[in-house]
Chains A and B, each alone.
Chain A
């Protein structure tokens, strides 16, 4: 069974940093593209970026809205996906989801940026 479990969310001050993790199980992690998507309260989801699979060199793509502030990486030995978020702003407040292609999403983790 495919499982994705996000962690690392919480309250952070504007300008601060946070690293989210997504523990994956139930599939061969290196075979799949992995994505981060966020959803501000009451709004539509926003795709943040993707890290490709082993066959495609683990390269990344980002939404221009977060490029340069957010970094996606993966630990293929521990099957963990990461999202490093820097210079956080109030508008980054959202539930953050990791996803394996479109078919599997985690339950999400809340990030609140506020002083």
Chain B
């Protein structure tokens, strides 16, 4: 299975500051078709995970442009510019290159 490893945030993050969440995969998620098979989700307290980013850098419908995804084949970053109260929760990366799909352990964002 592909192992997804997420970094921690130096919580709490001051409101209005930027935050970067890292994720590393044990295998390259870059397909020969040029696409990188990585999703980012936000799970707010008490809610289902919500898709933020797919194909490593494409924002899902309705997602604020304060969220951006970048990376290489194995190292990825989700950047949140100007953190707001609604961004609080746990962020997960997930690979969808191979079965079984696998998630990172999560990165918690707290607001100062």
Contact = CB atoms under 8 A, between A and B. Distances in A.
Contacts of B94: 45, 47, 102
A92 interface: no
Nearest to B106: A44
Nearest to B60: A103
A61 B99 contact: yes
The number of chain B residues touching the other chain, given as a range, is 20 to 34
Interface residues of A, number: 19
Interface of A: 35, 44-47, 49-50, 61-65, 97, 102-103, 105-108
Interface of B: 1, 39, 41, 48-51, 54, 60-61, 92, 94, 96, 99-106
B100 A44 contact: no
Contacts of B39: 102
B24 to A, nearest CB: 15
Contacts of B54: 102-103
Contact of B103 (A44, A103, A105, A108): A44
A19 to B, nearest CB: 21
